[in-house]
Amino acid sequence: MDNKNIVLSGIRSTGQLHLGNYFGALRNFTRMQHDARCFFFIADYHSLTTHPDPGQLHGNVKNILSEYLAAGIDPEVATIYIQSDVPQVAELSLLLSMHAYVGELERTASFKDKIRKQPDNVNAGLLCYPVLMAADILLHRATHVPVGKDQEQHLELTRQFARRFNNIYGVNYFPESVPYNFGQELVKIPGLDGNGKMGKSEGNGIYLSDSDEAIRKKVMRAVTDAGPQAPDSPMSEPVRNIFTIMKAVSEPSTIDFFTEKYNKCEIRYGDLKKQLAEDIIRTVAPIRERIADIRSNDKYLHEVTAEGAERARRSADATLRDVREIMGIHRF
Ligand code: TRP
């Protein structure tokens, strides 16, 4: 990473962030902010494709914003902004949509998934979701986009749109943005329900705003199995998941201790979970306290978002001036 690189990532404002978001995204963001020019935004336009409740939108945006800041993203270093504060992205999305084919949008995995999940609300916003996401990225001509596996197809489309734009207009304007995760395997945090990853909508998560008691309760209820039947037997998925979370929050010696117990068939899952709960609390409690402080400080949130919007708009305006000119839109 050098400081010519431009990093951009966003999180949709739906619900609250969990441990998976922290280890998979936020913690990486805080590390990258010192190595490149970074934009981190809250994708509230995107959230409208699935959560169009006006009464909840602002609170949801406020949650993610507070969580970004509590996790350590420094608004003096990185640009933090709300997507809808920079409506230039909507114009870029419109312009890019002229070169996005309906067929390729219909074939996107996330779109097909939404058709299954919300057959009564297959709106055009869902279809154009990848175009808006490409606009988010290309608005600042970002070179590196820290995202998880589930977003890689969207990023592939972003590169496709960038290449196509450059080809059609005979320019070398948009970069081909690549996924980037701080040069290391992404830590994937599984859920506590025995299979799959921790997800905002799976109901299997530990939230950064959870109380100590809530964390203990959730962890103690985590799915396990009947216990190892022979020494050194392979772990079932639910048990492996518990160890995976442990690797993110516990000391290596703790993990060694319980791995050995498991291998000797001496493990007591109750003890394992108690230890895991305390180690999660050690990570989450200070973040939770910062979230609460920040969330109640409207003046600070106003300052951060006003400054972020201003910086993001400046970058967006420069891009749109170029794109309009490239496409032949000239002022009289
Ligand atoms: N689609 C992303 C998600 O659901 C959120 C997002 C919107 C995003 N625009 C982006 C991520 C631009 C990275 C870059 O997680």
pLDDT at 170: 98
Q: Quickly count: other Cβ atoms within 10 Å of residue 91's Cβ.
A: 15
* Mean pLDDT, range 269-291, rounded to an integer: 98
Domain annotation covers residue 194: no
The ligand 1 atom nearest the CA atom of 148: 15
Q: Do 318 and 222 share a domain, yes or no? A: no
Helix (H, G, I), strand (E, B) or coil at 88: helix
Question: How many Å lie between the centroid of ligand 1 and the Cα of residue 135?
Answer: 11
190 forms beta bridges with 197
Within a domain: 263:
yes
178 and 110 in a common domain: yes
CATH number at residue 114: 3.40.50.620
Please tell me whether residues 79 and 181 are part of one structural domain.
Answer: yes
Q: How confident is the model at residue 194 (pLDDT cuts 50, 70, 90)?
A: confident
Token match 């949509």: residue? Answer: 97
Q: Which of 38, 151, 161, 200 to mutate to test the pocket of ligand 1 (most atoms within 8 A of CB)?
A: 151
> Residue 292 belongs to what H/E stretch?
helix 269-295
pTM of the model: 0.93
Spacing, Cα 292 to ligand 1 middle (Å)? 25
Q: Are residues 64 and 154 in the same domain?
A: yes
The structure tokens listed for 11 are 């999180």
pLDDT digits (tens, 9 = 90+) for 127-177: 999 999 999 999 999 999 999 888 999 999 999 999 999 999 999 999 999
Tokens of 108: 């996107």
Are 25 and 135 contained in the same domain?
yes
Are residue 36 and residue 123 in the same domain, yes or no? yes
Average pLDDT over residues 97-107: 98
Residue ranges making up the domain that contains 179: 6-187+298-327
Ligand 1 centroid to residue 217 C-alpha, Å? 31
| Nearest one of 7, 2, 3 to 181, comparing CA atoms | 7
The answer to the question of residue 118 being in a domain is yes
In degrees and rounded to multiples of 5, residue 205 shows phi and psi of -105, 160
Residue 203 lies in a domain: no
Residue 217 maps to which CATH number? 1.10.240.10
Catalytic residues: 114, 197, 200
